[in-house]
């Protein structure tokens, strides 16, 4: 019996319940004991069904926000307009002491394509699950009194069949929130799911709504795609087929050749995947794309630097001096990422050679010269522009012969360059 098929087995459900943190159990039990329905919902349930490590645990309840706050001594009204209250447990495990509890609700109207115009609190779980995006995210786990799985829209069956399906009409779901079309591509890649017939057509029709999505939210989905998906190209190709990618990055080419390499480690080098995607456009296009997405300055700089690296075959025939000059341009700390970027193109061997060359001697910049600027000025009389030219000449020489970076040898070299 497959792991998914076992979700109806009491022993399996008990094991799932045991994976839920104790504070979440206590919150659910307290609500149930007070006469309310309370369940674990969202991605954590999906992950437990798939037998992977769950992320955050969210609780949904039939209790109104006021009723939730009446049950618990310490709460924070973090989103009352949407029915969300954070319950704070003062006595155990700091990592899980805050539990988000949201009232069952329905949503009406999405004029801005991002947020519901209003919500209505309801008492039935199925009504709450019916507003969610995909069947695989529309499941709930009852913890008390007995662990049971609520799956009114067939999320387990879709996971077992490898299908991605919306809850209800896909056009309606995507028109409500433009980010859902992007999430569809990310879930397809992350969980290796195939879109059901008509889903991609609905994604394409949702483009006007997708265009209302804030760049930061788009970036967050792409970040999850690159960091969590075994094969990010599946998601990017889906976005390309539906027109979402061209709208998001109109000037950026899509290079998918090296995104899915099995020996990449996304959690350690997601920058390599960003660079593999944006490689063909070069440094400037990569940075413009990331600026459009409002990525951090650090990510722009890292990916831009990687996008100006030569291919492995060029570095393989470079001299030691050329390798040192290139590393100074790209950044020493980024060299290990190239093993992920170039994994199937002999890149690991090139990285090993680069590391060996650097170990034999490498200066990251003028600050590592054996003589500082004041000493060089006193020694040669060079100032301003002339001093800068001297520093660059010394670095170029040391790239070929790094062993000359001693005070005496550098002083003789500086005098020879400034007669």
Length of the chain: 419
User: At the topology level of CATH, where does 162-248 sit?
Assistant: Hydrophobic Seed Protein (1.10.110)
User: Range with the lowest mean pLDDT among 25-29, 33-37, 180-184, 314-318?
Assistant: 314-318
The 3-state DSSP class for residue 92 equals: coil
Sequence-separated (6 or more) residues with CB below 8 Å from residue 133: 166, 167, 173, 177, 180, 183
Distance CA(174)–CA(207), nearest Å, equals 9
% residues pLDDT > 90 (the chain): 53
**pTM score, two decimals?**
0.83
Q: What pLDDT is stored for residue 252 in this prediction?
A: 54
CA torsion through residues 316, 321, 326, 328, sign = positive
For the ranges 3-17, 159-173, 244-258, the maximum mean pLDDT occurs at 159-173
Q: Is the model more confident about 75 or about 279?
A: 75
Distance CA(198)–CA(74), nearest Å, equals 47
CB 305 within 8 A of CB 330: yes
Distance CA(38)–CA(31), nearest Å, equals 6
Q: Is the pLDDT of residue 117 over 90?
A: no
What are the pLDDT digits (tens) for 340-398?
776 656 667 788 888 999 999 999 989 999 999 899 888 888 888 999 899 999 999 99
Total Cβ atoms within 10 A of residue 84: 19
As to burial, measured by CB atoms within 10 angstroms (0-12 exposed, 13-18 middle, 19+ buried), residue 243 is middle
What are the pLDDT digits (tens) for 137-171?
999 999 998 999 999 999 999 999 999 999 999 99
% residues pLDDT > 70 (the chain): 88
Mean pLDDT of the chain: 86
Output b/e per residue, 160-169; b: 16+ Cβ within 10 A: eeebbbbbee
User: At the topology level of CATH, where does 5-155 sit?
Assistant: Beta Polymerase; domain 2 (3.30.460)
Tokens 């029915």 label which residue? 83
User: Range with the lowest mean pLDDT among 139-143, 207-211, 246-250, 333-337?
Assistant: 246-250
Q: Is the model more confident about 245 or about 125?
A: 125
Q: What pLDDT is stored for residue 382 in this prediction?
A: 85
The 3-state DSSP class for residue 98 equals: strand
Average pLDDT over residues 15-33: 93
Q: Is the pLDDT of residue 53 over 90?
A: no
Q: Is the model more confident about 143 or about 97?
A: 143
Output b/e per residue, 106-141; b: 16+ Cβ within 10 A: ebeebeebeebeebebbeebeebbebbbbbbbbbbb
| DSSP letter (8 states) at residue 311 | P
Average pLDDT over residues 290-295: 92
pLDDT band at 129 (very low <50, low <70, confident <90, very high): very high
pLDDT band at 333 (very low <50, low <70, confident <90, very high): confident
């Amino acid at each position: 019996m497959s792991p998914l098929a076992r979700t109806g087995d009491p022993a399996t459900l008990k094991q799932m319940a045991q994976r839920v943190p104790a504070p979440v159990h206590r919150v659910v039990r307290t609500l149930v004991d007070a006469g309310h329905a309370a369940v674990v919902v969202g991605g954590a349930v999906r992950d437990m069904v798939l037998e992977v490590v769950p992320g955050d645990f969210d609780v949904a309840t039939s209790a109104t926000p006021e009723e939730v706050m009446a049950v618990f001594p310490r709460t924070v009204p973090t989103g009352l307009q949407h029915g969300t209250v954070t319950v704070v447990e003062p006595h155990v495990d700091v990592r899980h002491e805050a539990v988000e509890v949201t009232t069952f609700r329905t949503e009406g109207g999405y004029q801005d394509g991002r947020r519901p115009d209003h919500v209505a609190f309801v008492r039935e779980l199925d009504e709450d699950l019916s507003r969610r995006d995909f069947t695989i995210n529309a499941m709930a786990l009852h913890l008390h009194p007995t662990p049971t799985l609520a799956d009114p829209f067939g999320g387990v069956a879709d996971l077992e069949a490898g299908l991605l399906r919306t809850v209800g009409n896909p056009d309606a779901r995507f028109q409500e929130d433009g980010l859902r079309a992007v999430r569809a591509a990310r879930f397809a890649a992350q969980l290796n799911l195939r879109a059901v017939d008509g889903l991609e057509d609905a994604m394409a029709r949702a483009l006007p709504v997708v265009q209302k999505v804030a760049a930061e939210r788009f970036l967050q989905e792409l970040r999850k795609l690159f960091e969590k998906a075994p094969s990010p190209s599946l998601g990017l190709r889906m976005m390309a087929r539906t027109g979402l990618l061209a709208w998001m990055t109109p000037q950026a080419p899509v290079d998918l050749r090296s995104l899915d390499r099995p020996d990449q480690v996304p959690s350690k080098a997601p920058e390599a995947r960003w660079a593999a995607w944006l490689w063909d456009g070069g440094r400037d296009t990569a940075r413009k794309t990331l600026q459009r997405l409002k990525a951090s300055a650090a990510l722009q700089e890292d990916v831009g630097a990687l996008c100006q690296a030569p291919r492995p075959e060029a570095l393989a025939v470079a001299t030691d001096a050329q390798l040192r000059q290139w590393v100074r341009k790209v950044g020493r700390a980024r060299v290990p990422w190239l093993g992920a970027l170039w994994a199937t193109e002999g890149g690991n061997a090139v990285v090993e050679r680069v590391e060996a060359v650097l170990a034999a001697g490498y200066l990251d910049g003028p600050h590592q010269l054996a003589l500082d600027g004041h000493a060089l000025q006193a020694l040669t009389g060079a100032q301003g522009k002339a001093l800068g030219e001297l520093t660059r000449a010394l670095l170029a020489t040391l790239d070929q012969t790094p062993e000359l970076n001693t005070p005496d040898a550098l002083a003789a070299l500086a005098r020879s360059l400034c007669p």
